[in-house]
């Protein structure tokens, strides 16, 4: 009788091990499926982030183009740094002259307004806006018309020259 009970116990134990192995296989399968779903979700999230970034850049470029084509192009304190870069390519040089966005230690957030950036840097907003608007003074459709042929007026020259 003791041997029969031992055999039954061994069979129950074996059935338990087989069941545990099957559950482990199902768990591994579910884990792989969950990993695949997470990768897909991450990829979709990354694509959405890139599309949102592209939309913000396009919006800033369109605002700048509308301002230029309407003849009302001017820098304003409520304008974002990104919009100022889109309005005139040398706006970055003007901000860099005030140590706002010119190097790693004085980087600015592109979606902050010029007023926020100036306040954070402790710089007079009116002075920066005035200097930025001098970039537009020589462009066609903005007043005196004494700009260069390509519409760009060099305001700040680089302080570094490389000779080969």
The answer to the question of residue 138 being in a domain is yes
Predicted confidence (pLDDT) at residue 145 exceeds the cutoff of 50 = no
- Domain coverage including residue 147: 37-156
The answer to the question of residue 164 being in a domain is no
The answer to the question of residue 17 being in a domain is no
What pLDDT is stored for residue 105 in this prediction?
73
The answer to the question of residue 22 being in a domain is no
- Structure tokens given for 64: 């700048």
pTM of the full predicted structure?
0.61
The answer to the question of residue 52 being in a domain is yes
The answer to the question of residue 26 being in a domain is no
The answer to the question of residue 67 being in a domain is yes
- Structure tokens given for 74: 């001017």
What's the structural domain count of the chain?
A: 1
- Structure tokens given for 9: 């116990």
Eight-state DSSP code of residue 162: -
d(C-alpha 19, C-alpha 132), whole Å: 74
- Provide mean pLDDT across the span 11-24: 96
What pLDDT is stored for residue 113 in this prediction?
92
Give residue-wise pLDDT tens across range 83-142: 999 998 888 888 888 888 767 777 888 889 999 999 988 889 999 999 899 888 765 444
d(C-alpha 142, C-alpha 12), whole Å: 91
């Amino acid at each position: 009788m003791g041997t029969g009970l031992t055999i039954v116990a061994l069979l129950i134990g074996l059935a338990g091990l087989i069941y545990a192995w099957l559950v482990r296989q199902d768990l591994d399968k579910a884990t792989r499926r969950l990993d695949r779903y997470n990768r897909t979700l991450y990829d979709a999230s990354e694509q959405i982030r890139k599309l949102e970034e592209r939309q913000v850049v396009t919006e800033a470029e369109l605002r700048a183009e509308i301002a230029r084509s309407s003849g009302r192009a001017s820098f304003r304190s409520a304008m974002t740094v990104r919009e100022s870069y889109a309005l005139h390519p040398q706006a970055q040089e003007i901000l860099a002259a005030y140590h706002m966005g010119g190097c790693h230690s004085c980087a600015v957030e592109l979606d902050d307004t010029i007023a926020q950036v100036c306040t954070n840097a402790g710089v007079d907003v009116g002075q920066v806006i005035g200097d930025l608007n001098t970039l537009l003074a020589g462009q066609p459709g903005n007043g005196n018309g004494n700009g260069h042929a390509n519409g760009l007026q060099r305001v700040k020259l680089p302080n570094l020259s490389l000779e080969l």
